[in-house]
Structure 1
Amino acid sequence: MELKEIQNLIKFVAATGVAEVKLEIDNVKITIKTTLEGTSPEITYLQQAPMPQALPQVATPSTVAAPAPAAPVADESSKYITVKSPIIGTFYRKPSPDKPMFVEVGSTIGKGDVLCIIEAMKLFNEIESEVSGKIVKILVDDMSPVEFDQPLFLVDPS
């Protein structure tokens, strides 16, 4: 739409006494609002941005493999296996304050051995080992909060 056509449209709307006119042509919207007689009309120009043609496709859930949260994951940079937290909560290394630690650095563990407890919403969840080996490093302090999938222990499977 040309400027001259827009000016003629404004004069026409002002002469008719209409309070508001909205016009949409292709990707241009024009709104003309008239005010009291003798004052100039308010004009709003709004140019719509062109829509993108095609958005990149996101991988569908069927093509994405979900990681096993409680399963130990092999660390690519070393020969150790990382045991990760399956839940959010508070990490405890012993069953109660007067009991000994479940495991220490250098402890030999087997599949099914309890490594720690994670308390979540007043429930104490025993975290069992899914691998056999030797505890190389404990990555979390006792009574510390842990996040989902946070590394807890490094285990040497050999």
Structure 2
Amino acid sequence: MDIREIQNLIKFVSKSEVSEVKYKTKDFEITIKTPLGGNENISYVAQPAMYPAPAAAPAPAAAPQAAPAADTPKDAAADDSKYIAIKSPMIGTFYRKPAPDKDVFVNVGDEVTPGKVVCVIEAMKLFNQIESEISGKIVKILVDDATPVEYDQPLFLVDPS
């Protein structure tokens, strides 16, 4: 079973109303538990995932510091229209590095191509490498390292030109 199949299985279980799914083959075994099963360990994972949206509130707090910062939201609106977002394919914890002692996968200004690993998302103690599906230049990293992310949440902005 490859990463894509595991991701699809996680998506299926999260959308269905089951409390636990076990999948077992000769070489592979996975158990996925959802909050419906009363497992308190998983219910706290869903709660912090809601915090990144309010965490964007400190960014407007930075805007009053300087008058030029007021132009930044206009630029950000323009960025959204001409840049393409690399989005999270799952719920989990976002990491920019493959390991704490390693270098980050990508920085602002780096070129990416389809298949290049841009980050890792840890879900249920599995570290899933997230690959770029587009070519271009990273212009903005939208998520802080080691923070929870939601399904389909933008992680990076890429300039495809």
Q: With the length of structure 1 as denominator, give the TM-score of the two structures.
A: 0.51
Shift of 1:77: 4.8
Question: Who is 2:10 aligned against?
Answer: none
Q: Within 2, Cα distance between the matches of 1:116 and 1:77? A: 21
CA change 1:97–1:149 in 2 (3 A) is: same
The verdict on how the C-alpha distance between 1:152 and 1:77 changes in structure 2, with shifts beyond 3 A counting, is closer
The amino acid that maps onto 1:131 is I
The residue number in structure 2 matching 1:155 is 158
Residue 89 of structure 1 is aligned with which of 92, 102, 109? 92
Q: Residues of 2 paired with 1:97 and 1:140: CA distance?
A: 17
Helix, strand or coil: the match of 1:78?
A: helix
Q: Deviations over 1:42-66 (max 9, x none)?
A: xxxxxxxxxxxxxxxxxxxxxxxxx
2:82 maps to what in 1?
79
Q: What is the number of residues matched between the two proteins?
A: 84
CA distance in 2, matches of 1:143, 1:84: 16
**Amino acid in the other structure paired with 1:101:** V
Shift of 1:78: 1.6
Relative to structure 1, the CA distance from residue 96 to residue 146 in structure 2 (aligned partners, 3 Å threshold; closer, same or farther) is: same
Provide the C-alpha distance between the structure 2 equivalents of 1:79 and 1:114, rounded to a whole number of angstroms: 22
Query: Secondary structure of 1:136's partner?
Result: strand
Unaligned runs of 5+ in 1: 1-74
What are the ranges of 5 or more consecutive residues in structure 2 without an aligned counterpart? 1-77
Task: Check if 1:106 corresponds to 2:103.
Answer: no
The equivalent position to 2:122 in structure 1, one of 119, 122, 128, is 119
Q: Deviation of residue 79 (structure 1)? A: 1.0
Alpha-carbon distance in structure 1 between the residues aligned to 2:82 and 2:130:
22
Report the 3-state secondary structure (helix = DSSP H, G, I; strand = E; otherwise coil) of the residue aligned with 2:157: strand
Q: Which runs of 4 or more aligned residues in structure 1 lie more than 2 Å from their structure 2 counterparts after TM superposition?
A: none
Please state which structure has a larger fraction of its residues in strand. Answer: 1
> Counterpart of 2:134 in structure 1: which amino acid?
V
Matched to 2:122, the amino acid is E
The 2-side partners of 1:99 and 1:140 are apart by: 19
**Identity of counterpart residues, as a percentage?**
73
1:96 maps to a residue whose letter is A
In structure 1, what is the equivalent of residue 48 of structure 2?
none
